[in-house]
Structure 1
Amino acid sequence: MRIDDLNRQNRDFAWEDAEPARPLPARPFPFIWGLVREKFAGRMTLLLLAVVIGQGIEAFEPYALKAVVDALTGETGGGDTQIHGLGVFGWFVLLLAIWLGSMGMYRVHQIIDVYTSPSIRALAQKRMFSWLLGHSPRYFQDNFAGKLGQKIKQGANAVLGVIEILTWDVVRVLVLLAVALVLLWTASPLFSAVLAVWMVVYVAMSAWLARHCFTLSEKMSDAVSSSSGRIIDAITNADLIRGFARTAFERRFLGHYLNDERFHSRRLRWFLVAVRVFQMLSIIALLGVLVWVAIARTLAGGMSVGEFTLVFTLAFQISNTVWHLSDRLLSFFEELGTLSEALDLVSAPHEITDTTGAPALRVQAGGIELREVHFSFADGTRVFNGLNLTIRPGEKVGLVGRSGAGKSTLVKLLRRQYDPQYGRVLIDGQDIAHVTLESLNQAIAEVPQQPGVFHRTVGENIAYGRPDAGLEEVRAAARQAHADEFIMKRPTGYDTVVGEQGVKLSGGERQRVAIARALLKDSRILILDEATSALDSESEHLIQEALWNLMEGRTVLAIAHRLSTITGMDRILYLEGGKVVEEGSHSELLAMGGRYAQLWHRQSGGFLAAAE
């Protein structure tokens, strides 16, 4: 798909995704109810009406059979042949109408469902996905990416499973039991009393069993998620496993999680066997009592053969419908457990949020200031203890120092991927904690050490910096980044799909795509996080000018381990223990003969020559 076509499609369907992310209920039923009430109340009402009417009509089938039998008995035995004004064939026609009416309403239900269930599933996925993207980097570090994606898909499918069982199987049973109480009363109040007592006992026991079943289902779902996450992790690192000859170890390692999944699955299934035994005995008891009493009363002359047919047919209709519901019980609690586990994972409160009524960040000059910033990680590791730093608009600043000195953490604080425990981070005098995250991210372009690349076309990946850009603008940015040449060598050019994580591109090509994307975004503040680490000598030469073009007129913060890549910066900061221990230009720091000079003398090479 070409870039212009993609942009046109995005505009056509933009209305679907205009609403902001909203907090998700942590429990299944509030989540489902929220979706239905907000968007699908009308269609769900029609679905329920179709089921109620269809089952209500079908429930009168035993009564029509009773009338047919009584009419036949009268016809053959000399009784009244016009039962309630209808003859045998009249009641038979009514029986046909009942069959046709009930089946017709069920087809109406299916037609309405065509325009309901897919939309509910899509909305459930959008809601979970939107909330998921708002989590902090710490959240994604703590969870498998594959597991998160799987939970969104499974959770949305589980929503449909739960709705279907509740609005189809459960409603059919309730309607049938309600009609059966009335019809059995016409034969004898005793039959209605037996059914009513059975219903109370059955529902109470089923509710008690359901609570325990739900707990077991959640545990099984969690075990399935854990094993799935381990499988995805192993597949992602298949080359690493092969390279270290650890295939047998990974099989054993996964085996522990699969055994745990098997254990919890067995516990749930054994419990459901016990549940079904209870249901089977309950249904047999109901059938036995109703049919036994009906036989006794018919033999005693207290009931007609037609009334016996009514009781007998209703009893079996109830047993079949309730038994079908019991068969669906395993699916119901599996779906409920899956949705519950997905919501537990996805619906966690966001760690970093916009303040109420936060305005958009307005960046004109691009000045950056950190005032008395204190920051420690969740495990208590302290990084900054009162850091003060000012970066002038348009200044190019390099950050160097040993691993753990705080370079990447400083960048993450600027991007508000972390919030400091104390202190302020300002851009053009505006506290970034009090502006919208969307506007903050829009104001900053970044070329990371390992650039993110989508499994999409190379053109789409570049245009991600500015979605409204046309193909010619994308190509212009690619030419500046010296990416256009290798892209056009591909048979499909900018429509070349780059593969998962850009596997079809070399490291240098991915880096140039990232630079083109940053050029197209055209933000006032630029972050370079070891942006040249993946480049070979030829690629270094190709994009040297591109990087300087990218930095021109922007405030730049560059992290570097190879010092030669930042020798042309206006100022270089040497961090150690979360403090700036040395600062100055490259030549000034060398003249000091301190830590930077010592590090410089141990290194050589690089591609960013000092700007003259």
Structure 2
Amino acid sequence: MSRFHIGPRVDAFRDVLAFTGSHWSWQPARVAIIMIAMFACTLADVLTPLYTGRLVDAVANGAATEAVAWHAALAAFYMLVGLALGAIVMRHVAFTCIIDLTLKMLCGISSDAFDRVQRFSTDWHANGFTGSTVRQITRGMGALDLLNSTILIALFPSLIMLIGSAVLLGWHWPMMGLIIACGSLAYVGLTITLSLRYIAPSASLANSWDSRLGGALADAISCNPVVKGFAAEQRENERLAKVIAKWRRRMRRSWVRGAISGTMQGVTLLALRAAVICYALLLCSRGQATAGDIALVLTSFFVLQGYLRDVGMHVRNVQRSVNDMEELVYIQSQPLDIADCPEAKQIRIMKGRIDFKKVHFHYGNDGLPLFRDFSVSIKAGERVGLVGPSGSGKTTFVKLIQRLYDVNGGRIQIDEQDISKVTQASLRSQIAVVQQECLLFHRTLAENIAYGQPGASQAEIEEAAQLASAHEFIARLPKGYGTLVGERGIKLSGGERQRVAIARAFLADAPILILDEATSSLDTESEVLIQNAMERLMVGRTTLIIAHRLSTVRALDRLLVFDRGRIIEEGDHAALVHLNSGIYRRLFERQRWSVAKELL
């Protein structure tokens, strides 16, 4: 499944709001306090015009000379001050609670998203850009903050204000209440329709190109050594410029639609204002409204107008938040390609015997299987080389053992335990892997070596480094084991990275070892050091070596020669090299001839 989701989904609003609501349910008390507090402070805004009108009537009736009018004016004044003070207190309570609500949600969602991305399959990670994934998560987290505030602090009070104003004015003048209610509903309906049907599609497409832009930047920056090596800076600038141009067009269309929507909302509000003022003047001309009544109508409308004007912005914020969160929710909703079964147990590997029993496997929707009725056994402690041309199935074979893919038929057993019935974490924690391209974290050398055993002591780390022939070069560094290695280990040479990776495998002390032969692109001195370290590492472990240089597999117990997902030759080096017309013999002689030519 593609990592990129291009274009709006019909159910995006439903999915995002359901996702947000499910996280609100984790903190029901906070959500309830926020809503009660915002209801109280909005009710104060609804009632403020009522007491403003009473104050105006009291003044108009001669508050300065008549005691009754004076008391009425003071009562109205005290109520206005009390309502304002209460609104301030309630708003503070709401804002304090929403800070804690949002922070807890952000912490939980970011942790869940990171956990899920970590557990996605190898194919998922191979089909997209790391920069895009990071952008989708961080953009979604920022949008969640805005969505929470918009719904609970803005839209909910706007709804209360709309209902309250319509009821208050309708109580005095039913027709005025009807005008307010119908006009407000028309405005809100127009705003929602424009946001969902007009702005949202272009905003969703703009976000997809925003993710692509982040991915393109990350791709070029992470491969900067290649760019420099081929003097391709200008080429990469031109390539990025095309992505930026597409991003600019998509973003501009989204922003222009937002501006058009705002203008249409402004015209609708103007029409509603004209209708309210005209009807208020009509009431006054008929003697059906006092000066205080007019003050009540106008104050109520202008307070309501402020809320309605903001409703347009709030709905656009909801729409923008939904679009920004869509990809994060999509990540969270994707099923794990490789998931532990409900009754999965911890695997215990004591000996390290591996059995493939009539395994069928094909990649994704590819109908042609790579492995068909494939069976092989590897004894505990056996050292086995995997040989064959590219695409023959060697790498897939070791990935199936790690359960980076699930088989389509048959089963794989380790010490007679079906690996599909055990937890992935327990399985992989007992398999040490040294890859041809060793990846290191931008952390200290000590942290990288101890990655397979986080609680290792400094003495254990140094012992592993010595066994891997890495201690000597580490000791020469100014900060020794505290040296930061750079992103992906870029500060170290290829041979140094390989030795750190081997030290990591030593410290992991796993019963099964997988080596994607690490010496194919190193200088002779590094190759000798690493080969010696690998020999020490293999002792007492079931070892699988993906062999690129056949000269390195002569001493192994057994060689499996792969071709198109089948093992077509099997035996040790001495037996296979004497097979007439054998693939192994042909590969070995070809490599030997290449070495001889280099020496000449």
Q: TM-score, normalised by structure 1?
A: 0.89
Listed as ranges, the gaps of 5+ residues in structure 1 are: 1-23, 607-612
Q: Of residues 387, 403, 419 in structure 2, which corresponds to 1:416?
A: 403
Q: Which residue of structure 1 aligns with residue 429 of structure 2?
A: 442
- Counterpart AA for 1:195: I
Q: For residue 456 of structure 2, give the secondary structure of its aligned residue in structure 1.
A: coil
Matched residue of 2:577: which SS? helix
1:465 counterpart = 2:452: yes
Contact 1:71 1:81 in 2 (8 A): no
Q: What CA distance in whole angstroms lies between the structure 2 residues aligned with 1:199 and 1:446?
A: 65
- Secondary structure of the equivalent of 1:82? helix
Alignment partners' CA distance in 2, 1:543 and 1:145: 31
Q: 1:236 to 1:393 in 2, by over 3 A?
A: same
308-317 or 469-478, which moves further after superposition?
469-478
1:205 positional shift:
3.0
Q: Check conservation: 1:72, 1:81, Cα contact below 8 A.
A: no
Q: Which of 172, 193, 196 pairs up with 1:211?
A: 196
1 CA distance for matches of 2:285 and 2:544? 96
Verify: 1:582 aligned to 2:569, yes or no: yes
Q: Which residue of 2 aligns with 1:155?
A: 140
- Give SS of 1:362's match: coil
Instruction: For 2:554, give the aligned amino acid.
Output: T
Partner of 1:179: 164
CA distance in 2 between counterparts of 1:55 and 1:95 reads 13
Indicate how the Cα distance of structure 1 residues 36 and 576 shifts in structure 2: closer, same or farther if over 3 A, else same: same
Q: CA deviation at 1:586?
A: 1.8
Q: Is the 8 A contact 2:40 2:90 kept in 1?
A: yes
- Cα-to-partner distance string for 1:189-231 (whole Å, 9 max, x where unaligned): 2221211222332333333333213333222211221222122
- Name the residue aligned to 1:280: 266
Check the 8 A contact 2:52/2:292 in 1, yes or no.
yes
Structure 1 equivalent of residue 277 of structure 2: 291
Q: Deviations over 1:60-95 (max 9, x none)?
A: 2212221221121122697x6535x94433422332
State the shift of 1:183 in Å.
2.4
RMSD: 2.4
Query: Does the aligned pair in 1 maintain the 2:519–2:530 contact within 8 Å?
Result: no
CA distance in 2, matches of 1:151, 1:376: 31
What is the 5 A alignment of 1:513-528? 513-528=500-515
Residue 361, structure 1, aligned to residue 331, structure 2? no
2:41 counterpart residue number: 54
Pick closer, same or farther for the CA change 1:499–1:381 going to 2, 3 Å: farther
Distance across 2 between alignment mates of 1:224 and 1:433: 39
* Equivalent residues in 2 for 1:292-331, closer than 5 Å: 292-331=278-317
Distance in 2 (alpha carbons) for counterparts of 1:32 and 1:216:
23
Please report how far the alpha carbon of residue 398 of structure 1 lies from its aligned counterpart in structure 2 after TM superposition: 0.5
- Structure 2 residues not aligned, in runs of 5+: 1-11, 595-600
1 CA distance for matches of 2:14 and 2:170?
44
Select which of 584, 589, 595 maps to 1:601. 589
| Matching residue's letter, 1:28 | V
Query: Is residue 26–residue 343 contact of structure 1 (8 Å, CA) maintained in 2?
Result: no
1:68-107 to structure 2, matched below 5 A, reads: 68-75=55-62, 82=68, 86-107=71-92
User: How far does the alpha carbon of each residue in 1:420-464 deviate from its partner, in whole angstroms, 9 at most, with x for none?
Assistant: 222221111122122221121122110011122111222221121
Q: Alpha-carbon deviation of 1:385?
A: 2.6
Asked whether the 8 Å contact 1:122–1:156 carries over to 2, the reply is no
Looking at structure 2, the residues matched to 303 and 570 of structure 1 have their Cα atoms a distance apart, in angstroms, of 103
Deviation of 1:488 after TM superposition, in Å, equals 3.0
Match of 1:135 among 85, 96, 120: 120
Q: Deviations over 1:270-324 (max 9, x none)?
A: 3323322332122112221112221222243221111111110111111112112
CA distance in 1, matches of 2:260, 2:28: 37
Change (3 A) 1:542 1:256: closer
Equivalent of 2:328 in 342, 349, 353 = 342
Percentage identity across paired residues of the two chains:
33
On the 8 A contact 1:374/1:423 being kept in 2, the answer is yes
AA of the residue aligned to 1:514:
A
> Which residues in structure 2 correspond to 1:8-47 (within 5 Å)?
27-38=15-26, 40-47=27-34
1:152–1:415 CA distance, 2 compared to 1 (3 A): same
Alpha carbons 1:451, 1:511 under 8 Å: kept? yes
1:7 corresponds in structure 2 to none
1:314-351 CA distance string (max 9 Å, x none): 11111112112323443332221111123224532221
Structure 1 residue identity aligned to 2:68: Q
Query: What letter is aligned with 2:236?
Result: E
Task: Tell me how far 1:540 sits from its aligned partner.
Answer: 3.0
How far apart, in 1, do the equivalents of 2:357 and 2:480 lie?
A: 48
Q: Indicate conservation of the 8 Å contact 2:13/2:322, yes or no.
A: no
**Shift in Å, 1:386:** 2.4
* TM-score normalised according to structure 2 size: 0.91
